[in-house]
Amino acid sequence: MSAATGESCLAANEWICGEYVRSRAEELADATVEHVLITVTAVAIAALASFPLALAARRWQVAAGGILSLTTVLYTVPTLAMYALLLPVFGISVSVVVCGLVLYSLTILVRNTLTGLQSVPEEAREAARGLGYGRGRMLFAVELPLALPALMAGLRIATVSAISLATVGAIVGHGGLGNLIYSGMHSYFKAQVLTASVLCVALAVLADVTLLGVQRLITPWTRAGGGKRRGPVTRDAVLDAPGTV
């Protein structure tokens, strides 16, 4: 209730309004779920697509320049322009938003995946070859586990970025919490704008903290010594690498 007039915070159009949260709980939940689904789908597709691109860039120097340049150019395209360019292909649908976020995420994920793979010590590869590891087995049993910190860092950045950019999807009616933010700004509905914005920020923080926790869980060896490998990389170190069978 407003202290001055006794009217409800909704009627007074206040920024902080518990009545709005209670009365629109279902609407807020639906928007949040849509926002999460769009983000997870886009980042998952981008992660799957970035892996072979990063492998190609590492193996063929000629391809590396083209792949990195293309993903960089895509990242420089303004969000509204990107969605407009995708409209003739997908129409007004959620696919426009997902595809746009995938293209933006590729820049971050391809570069971080490539950096992680290139940072694997050559001694580890030589030790793996000495143990009879083929290219595929060495990639999944030695290189990827050692590259995980860089990969997870890229995944965290891409996820937080996607949560932010997904709000622009409101222009095609599929922006999750962005729908509430944009409609609230149009009608100057203060409580709706602030609540949806806070939820969007909370999603980004929660996603980052969760992924950081997953990273620390699956890379326990990085916690000792500030994430740096101590001592020489030996055949025994390769055998002890996470994922090595």
User: Which range is least confidently modeled, 46-55, 68-77, 137-146, 218-227?
Assistant: 218-227
**C-alpha dist (Å) from residue 168 to 63, 78, 82, 99, 219:** 32, 11, 11, 13, 34
Mean pLDDT computed over 188-200: 93
Which pTM value belongs to this model? 0.82
Give the rounded percent of residues in the chain with a pLDDT score beyond 70. 87
Helix (H), strand (E) counts: the chain: 11, 0
pLDDT digits (tens, 9 = 90+) for 100-109: 999 999 989 9
pLDDT digits (tens, 9 = 90+) for 3-34: 444 468 888 888 888 888 998 899 999 999 99
Q: What is the pLDDT of residue 237?
A: 43
> Would you state the structure tokens that stand for residue 143, as one six-digit string?
């290189």
What domains does the chain contain, in order, with CATH numbers? 18-240 (1.10.3720.10)
